[in-house]
Structure 1
Amino acid sequence: MQPRNMSMSGVVDLAAVKAAGEAKAKAEQARAQRQDPANASATAASPLVIEVTEETFESDVLQRSAEVPVVISFWADQAEQSKQLNAVLERLAAEYRGRFVLGTAEVYANQMLFQQFGVQGVPAVFAILAGQAMPLFQGSAPEDQITEVLDQLIAVAEQRFGIVGAEVDPGEAAAPAAEAPPRPATPQELALSAAHDALDEGDLAGAIQAYRNVLSDEPGNAEAKLGLAQAELLDRVQGADQQAVRAAAAASPSDVPAQLAAADLDLVGGHVEDAFGRLVDTVRRTAGDDRDTVRLRLLELFEVIGPDDPRVVTARTALARVLF
């Protein structure tokens, strides 16, 4: 197993378009609740290792992932290697003192989770951040490589989602931490929040304009770039007749609008490689302004998935071969 460059991108989840902004808000809310004395009894216990079941997955994993990275280790009783890995992960959970929570899921008792995560064998380790799953590694690994992966995960959680697990004494209950009063939101943060709200209400045009407003003042805002690319994608596929779009694309491989529309549907449907392959092939078949139009759309879709995603890296290489 080699440590990987982590990307929270993957199959496009339309419900998670605003995940980064919402996760930051949830993390702030969770920290505020921990400070409230009225919630002291509810927050006093914060176990670093939990047993995950299908019945408790939503409350113990999905909800908790809004305030701390959750690592899930799939294991089986007859797979000794998976039990040994769990022992290492449990010890690391204590050493990391609350920067991540470990959940262990026995595969035969949780067949639905096993299938939903697409686990091919055990041991298999995933992470959940802000309700989104990402694979970490499969099989056993040296401890130094495991800690490198965990360090990457914790960095992604803080940088992309504002999620920072509260420090916990492994042998004691976690006491509410005293924190400084939250700082006022900046104008850019308020504009970004307005964009998220518009998207949440189904106002795609309003969301697109709000994201553009942020980028006009702060062109390098990565969250606004991602939000704009995803909002525009949702706007393009809204109300599309999928059968008609795919039939038109199949009938005219060189029809640029037809191929662009089909690629959007591919991406929204989770067929990321198909979307990229379709547009790379269309670049190969076109020239001039048509070629440039397809190339720019492909770069937009790269933004939706994320520059570090291996499928984006592969598609960029294929695009470069076609262009040069």
Structure 2
Amino acid sequence: MIDITAANFEIDVLQASATTPVLVDFWAPWCGPCKSLGPVLEKLETEYAGRFILAKINSDDEQQIAGMFGVRSIPTCVLMVNGQPVDGFMGALPEGQVRAFLDKNLPSPEQLEAEQEEDEAQQALEAGDTDTALEKLQHAVATDPANDDTRFDYVKLLLQLGRSDDAKVAFAPVIAKAAAIRRLDSLQRWMDAIDASENADLGALDAAITANKRDFAARFARAQALMAQQQWTDAMDELLEILMRDKNWNDEQARKTYIAVLDIMEPPKVAVAEGQIPPEDPVIATYRRRLSSVVLS
């Protein structure tokens, strides 16, 4: 529990909520219901063991902050996430209702554990330790199966390591919804490319393209073979050749596959200082511009 004044509001509420949800409790010494709610909140903060921070603001002493939040009666509780209010309640709710409010808005212990595993996996990757990264990602997926972003990273790493059979097993639980979720669809297109290129003859494809530059089936097969070999820019160059000649070929397969390659090339998101935007990979930025130029022309 933290007592909040104008002096520490910025750091202990706004900035702190970027990493851990902060429950702000507006109270006053004369408020009877506040005296019954306060111990409930303090008990739950201890019980939830770091899933949220309790910040108490004396609304009599900090009228400016109370005014910022439009507090008209107390007790009023506001949950802050990433510096913004996301939910709240008024009145001295019983413990069961406060618990339900928290469970609705806070990440579960399983989600927090999975996030930690994901962070450790990315650190392992940066250090070149793919074995540890795979182990961490596998555990994160098992802990929080509904986290599609973690599953994307796990399947992607398996494919990068050439373990396509294991990737398909890890992908199977989400295959039914892959078409509706772009990043999952991108993984599906990569796996399709690997399957399609098993017996590809690049020499024969090159010959077919030389004979007919509008042999889009051959160009697409060549792009898939390049994807299977993880030659991403070469694959996009081939897809651009299709797009420059026929943007809508085969239900826009070239454009959709090009976007899939960009998704796959995108590096994992890493933490950056507050207010900063991580720089975009210059190769990805270039190929995004090329796609826009061709599609919008």
Q: TM-score, normalised by structure 2?
A: 0.40
* Higher RCO, Cα 8 Å, sep 6+: 1
Q: TM-score, normalised by structure 1?
A: 0.37
